[in-house]
Structure 1
Amino acid sequence: MLITDYFKKFLNSSQSSGIVLIVCVLISLLVANSSAGAAFQNLLDTKIGTELFHLNYSVSIWINDGLMAIFFLLVGLEIKREIVEGELSSFKSASLPIVAAVGGMVVPGLIYFFFNHGSEYAGGWAIPMATDIAFSLAIISMLGKRAPLSLKIFLAALAIVDDLGAILVIAIFYTDQIEWVYLGLSALMVAILVTFNLLKFTKHIWYIIPGIFLWYFMHHSGIHATIAGVLLALTIPTNISTTEISPLEKMEQKLHLPVNFLIMPIFALANTNILFKEGMVDDLFSNFGYGIIFGLVLGKVIGINLFSYIFIKLKISSLPDQVSWSQMLGAGLLAGIGFTMSIFIALLSFKGHPEIQDEAKFAILIASVISGFAGFSLLKYIGKKREHSED
């Protein structure tokens, strides 16, 4: 199995950043439910920017549309590198995490649809489809040697493919109105970036400047601006050399620290500020709550393992090295930690409905805690059992 050095760094950084994210979630919840909660919300609603270029947005929009585009740039770089030289570089190696990711999106979506079709919550069908890379990898990394490296790589590859799927869902289904002039200008920026790639321009500045314009045009086109990050990433030059560091890998190295320890914590602080209200727990026991919680907790593990089992039986894919089906169940549970991406999709699904957004956030939080605890406990138990059998 091909394991790139950058993939190992990705796993290591995910463990540390996941701990930081947990701390930020707790801080955000405490602030939201303290006397500082109203002031914090006012800060998020404060508009900054200029009307000159139609860039006068609230702090929360700058975070969700601006900073998150940088997050998706890093995700796009991860995807491209793994396609070129890593876990997704061949059909055999890529098939299982791809198939598992598809199953982990389809089944949760169907569960949510079952509970909420025809209701005012129907538009949130994509909420339980997402897997949070940072949290899921942070928890599996905490298991140390009790979780095989191949299982960690499988979960990382699955989460990356899952994020790609979430990106496509956002682009296709969560776009309100297309402004074709701006979309055409976005296409022009992509063409320029591809040309720079074909001409083998390697300095980052050749890609960053058109990338900024791409974000601006994409934001005004009606398609969610975070897509610009992925499109930019796919045009950054890379190679399969193990000795020469490519521009893609250099950018990846530079982005890991700010994304994992600044952008994602800021996103968690800004978007987990759930004000606990009377009756919020009761809302969990509604079709809306069931759709999110059952979708993440049960839908993920069922979809991932069902699709994996079918393709392994058809001999198209194979289990990761030294990984059992019980460990695959544990990985499927960890994939039910939807946190960042699920909240992000919930915000897009219910724009202008803060009460529904808060209900969704709370259900996502509960589901993610259940999935994370269950997955960690199962994998820890299996790991201990294996250690004793080897002794």
Structure 2
Amino acid sequence: MSTSPAGLFRRGSWPETRRIGDILRKETIGGMLLMVGAVLALIWANSPWNDLYEDIRAFEFGPAALHLDLSVATWAADGLLAIFFFVAGLELKREFVAGDLRAPRRAVVPVAAAAGGVLVPAIIYTVVAVSSGSGQGWAIPTATDIAFALAVLAVVGQHLPAAMRTFLLTLAVVDDLIAITIIALFYTSDLAILPLLGALVPLALFTVLVQRRVRSWWLLLPLAFATWTLVHASGVHATVAGVLLGFAVPVLTRPDEKGEGLAEHFEHRFRPLSAGVAVPIFAFMSAGVAVGGLSGLGSALSDPVSIGIVAGLVLGKPLGILGAVWLVSRLSGGKMDQGFTWIDQFGLALLAGIGFTVSLLIGELAFGPGTEQDDHVKVAVLAGSLTAAVLASVVLRARNRFYAQTYAAEQVDEDEDGIPDVYEHDRASNGEQR
């Protein structure tokens, strides 16, 4: 048994690599749709038909008896994003229960990187913006947008190692968990205890049913909706319900189960809905801001709130992530795998500065939708995310050309068993049975 330090970015198992590949394909399409939604919103909001866009956002519908007569924009932020966070909850639980990250030595790196990528941007924002009395927006630059970042990675990094993709996905999922925790703890006002306690009843029933492997939508969906409704009524942001429901779903299959497990079943059903519908609609409903020409853009970006957000995303994210990874490597004695360098990690850290979906959501919670500072938040999030995407693309494009030369060798399957030989070599080196 080898006693050498574990590689910080060791190639995962072949089944995990295939699963990550499937996720990336769905999230990549979602990221493209997200960008289309955001661009259309910006064009419409800055057109002569801006009033129509605002009227659509403000249009209210829903059962008033349940206090759910909400605007279209609120339904997108509170309702559709609950689907997004449900899938994030499923993915996070799967990674730590059945994925390659169930081993603590492999999990500690992306978890620490996510924590560093939250802490440092928050500090930078606070230092820049607190003098203006806008400290409540400190969490805006802490979030990484999974779909947006993976879409950029798919465009510029077709030949990058699978370990880089796995790392980015896991970092973003843990980042989302931290973000939803921040939302629950720091952006909850007028907490109503009775509805919150009441939400435990349908959540418990949902948990019992899924633990018994019940898949009947007519039983599960009403319980999920009841949980979401009660959490929404409690004052806690309703997307928290999505994460709790995702955590309730069992990941491991029982000996008597046939086919895919329940978590995998839900993931297949809801990930396309999340990536292809929920997040793009939210982007379309949230990204539209009337800039007001170059003078308006300059005014928005000169706001300390905007400066703090852009600095947090473009500088804070890379500094926090790289610093955390360096610290873990020093404390644990871990090392980069052969051929995987710090410049690769730098490219990923830049890419993590793409904050969109959750950043826009936190901006609305911090300053209120439709306010002047919320408009500045939108401009800053878009500017910071675009800058991070361009810088990351420059670095990762160069690394992609380097890895393209080794990609073909990694896909060789001389025994034609459907598993590239490099993964079989990894398994043999670790003493695993075929």
TM-score (norm 1): 0.94
* Paired letter, 2:355: G
Equivalent-residue separation in structure 2 for 1:14 and 1:321 (angstroms): 29
Offset of residue 383 of structure 1: 2.8
Cross-structure match for 1:265:
280
Q: 1:99 aligned to 2:116?
A: no
360, 385, 410: which one aligns with 1:368: 385
Equivalent-residue separation in structure 1 for 2:63 and 2:217 (angstroms): 27
* Structure 1: segments with no counterpart, 5+ residues: none
CA shift in 2, pair 1:248/1:205, >3 Å? farther
CA shift in 2, pair 1:91/1:204, >3 Å? farther
Question: 1:105, 1:130 within 8 Å by CA — same for their partners in 2?
Answer: yes
* Structure 2: segments with no counterpart, 5+ residues: 1-11, 409-434
SS of the residue corresponding to residue 331 of structure 1 reads helix
> CA-to-partner distance for each residue in 1:117-150, whole Å, 9 max, x for gaps?
2533110000000000001111112234442111
Q: 1:41 aligned to 2:57?
A: no
Cross-structure match for 2:91:
78
Question: 1:146, 1:379 within 8 Å by CA — same for their partners in 2?
Answer: no
Cross-structure match for 1:57:
70
Equivalent-residue separation in structure 2 for 1:29 and 1:116 (angstroms): 25
Equivalent-residue separation in structure 2 for 1:139 and 1:262 (angstroms): 19
SS of the residue corresponding to residue 52 of structure 1 reads helix
* Paired letter, 2:167: F
70, 82, 91: which one aligns with 1:69: 82
Offset of residue 322 of structure 1: 4.0
Identity in percent:
32
* Paired letter, 1:280: L
Offset of residue 83 of structure 1: 1.5
Please list, as runs of the form range in 1=range in 2, the aligned pairs for 1:370-389 lying within 5 A after superposition.
370-385=387-402
Cross-structure match for 2:355:
338
Equivalent-residue separation in structure 1 for 2:235 and 2:112 (angstroms): 31
Q: 1:218 aligned to 2:235?
A: no
CA shift in 2, pair 1:326/1:4, >3 Å? closer
Cross-structure match for 2:374:
357
Please list, as runs of the form range in 1=range in 2, the aligned pairs for 1:212-361 lying within 5 A after superposition.
212-239=225-252, 244-277=259-292, 278-315=295-332, 317-319=334-336, 322-351=339-368, 354-361=371-378
Which range moved further: 168-177 or 18-27?
18-27
168, 177, 188: which one aligns with 2:190: 177
> CA-to-partner distance for each residue in 1:339-358, whole Å, 9 max, x for gaps?
11111111111115521111
Which range moved further: 281-290 or 231-240?
281-290
Question: 1:87, 1:157 within 8 Å by CA — same for their partners in 2?
Answer: no
* Paired letter, 1:169: I
Question: 2:98, 2:251 within 8 Å by CA — same for their partners in 1?
Answer: no
* Paired letter, 2:375: D
Equivalent-residue separation in structure 2 for 1:20 and 1:250 (angstroms): 24
Offset of residue 207 of structure 1: 3.0
* Paired letter, 2:130: H
Q: Which has the larger radius of gyration?
A: 2
> CA-to-partner distance for each residue in 1:351-391, whole Å, 9 max, x for gaps?
15521111001011011001001001111112324557999
Question: 1:108, 1:128 within 8 Å by CA — same for their partners in 2?
Answer: yes
SS of the residue corresponding to residue 41 of structure 1 reads helix
Which range moved further: 253-262 or 369-378?
253-262
* Paired letter, 1:18: G
Question: 1:141, 1:152 within 8 Å by CA — same for their partners in 2?
Answer: no
SS of the residue corresponding to residue 102 of structure 2 reads coil
Please list, as runs of the form range in 1=range in 2, the aligned pairs for 1:140-179 lying within 5 A after superposition.
140-179=153-192
Which range moved further: 314-323 or 356-365?
314-323
- How many residue pairs are counted as aligned between the two chains? 391
* Paired letter, 1:234: F
CA shift in 2, pair 1:386/1:51, >3 Å? closer
Question: 1:111, 1:294 within 8 Å by CA — same for their partners in 2?
Answer: yes
SS of the residue corresponding to residue 101 of structure 2 reads coil
- CA RMSD of superposed structures (Å): 2.2
Equivalent-residue separation in structure 2 for 1:124 and 1:299 (angstroms): 15
Equivalent-residue separation in structure 1 for 2:59 and 2:44 (angstroms): 17
Equivalent-residue separation in structure 2 for 1:119 and 1:53 (angstroms): 38
Cross-structure match for 1:25:
38
Offset of residue 191 of structure 1: 2.5
Offset of residue 161 of structure 1: 0.4
Cross-structure match for 1:16:
29
Equivalent-residue separation in structure 1 for 2:336 and 2:110 (angstroms): 10
CA shift in 2, pair 1:84/1:390, >3 Å? closer
CA shift in 2, pair 1:390/1:11, >3 Å? closer
Question: 1:150, 1:323 within 8 Å by CA — same for their partners in 2?
Answer: no
Which range moved further: 153-162 or 250-259?
250-259
Equivalent-residue separation in structure 2 for 1:201 and 1:147 (angstroms): 39
